[in-house]
Amino acid sequence: MLVKETAVTFGAAGRLTGILSVPDRPDPSRPAFLFLNAGVTHRVGPNRLSVRLARDLAEQGFTSLRFDFSGLGDSTVRNDDLPPAKSVLAEAAEAMDLVRSRSGVDRFVPIGICSGGTVAFMAAREDPRVVGAVVINAQGHLHGTDPELSAHLHSRTMARHSWRIALFSSFRSKNWIKALTGELDPRRILRMMVGFPMAMILRRKQRRERPAPTEIPADPAAVLREVLNRDVHLFHIYCEADEGLDYFHVSLGDRGPKVASERRGRFTMIRGANHVFTLSWSQDRLTEIVGEWACTTFPGSGSAAATG
Residue-wise pLDDT for 174-216, tens only, equals: 665 666 677 766 666 566 555 555 555 555 555 555 544 434 4
pLDDT in tens, 232-243: 999 999 999 999
Tell me the CA end-to-end span of the chain in Å, nearest whole number.
Answer: 8
* Average pLDDT, rounded, for the chain: 86
DSSP string, 77-138: PPSS---HHHHHHHHHHHHHHHHHHHH----EEEEEETHHHHHHHHHHHH-TTB-EEEEES-
Average pLDDT over residues 269-298: 97
Q: Model confidence at 249, in pLDDT bands (50, 70, 90)? A: very high
Residue 42 burial by Cβ neighbours in a 10 Å radius (0-12, 13-18, 19+): middle
Phi (first) and psi of residue 4, to 5 degrees = -100, 130
Which has more pLDDT, 297 or 194? 297
Q: Is the pLDDT of residue 264 over 70?
A: yes
Q: Is the pLDDT of residue 161 over 50?
A: yes
Which has more pLDDT, 294 or 304? 294
- State the pTM of this model: 0.86
Percent of residues, the chain, with pLDDT higher than 70: 80
The pLDDT, as a whole number, for residue 306 is 39
Q: In sequence order, what are the residues at sequence separation of 6 or more whose Cβ sits closer than 8 angstroms to the Cβ of residue 159?
A: 192, 193, 195, 196, 198, 199
The pLDDT, as a whole number, for residue 70 is 97
Residue 201 burial by Cβ neighbours in a 10 Å radius (0-12, 13-18, 19+): exposed
pLDDT in tens, 132-146: 999 999 998 998 655
Q: Model confidence at 254, in pLDDT bands (50, 70, 90)? A: confident
Separation in Å, CA 108 to CA 28, 40, 128, 134, 139 = 11, 23, 9, 11, 22
Residue 143 burial by Cβ neighbours in a 10 Å radius (0-12, 13-18, 19+): middle
pLDDT in tens, 27-75: 889 999 999 999 999 999 999 999 999 999 999 999 999 999 999 999 9
User: What are the strands of the beta sheet with 32-35, ordered from one edge?
Assistant: 3-10, 16-23, 64-67, 32-35, 108-113, 132-136, 233-239, 266-270
Q: Is the pLDDT of residue 24 over 70?
A: yes
The pLDDT, as a whole number, for residue 265 is 97
60 HSE (CA, 13 A, CB side): 24
Which has more pLDDT, 129 or 25? 129
Smallest CA-to-CA distance from 243 within 169, 177, 188 is with: 169
Q: Domains of the chain, with CATH numbers?
A: 3-143+218-307 (3.40.50.1820), 159-209 (no CATH)
Q: Return the CA Rg of the chain.
A: 20
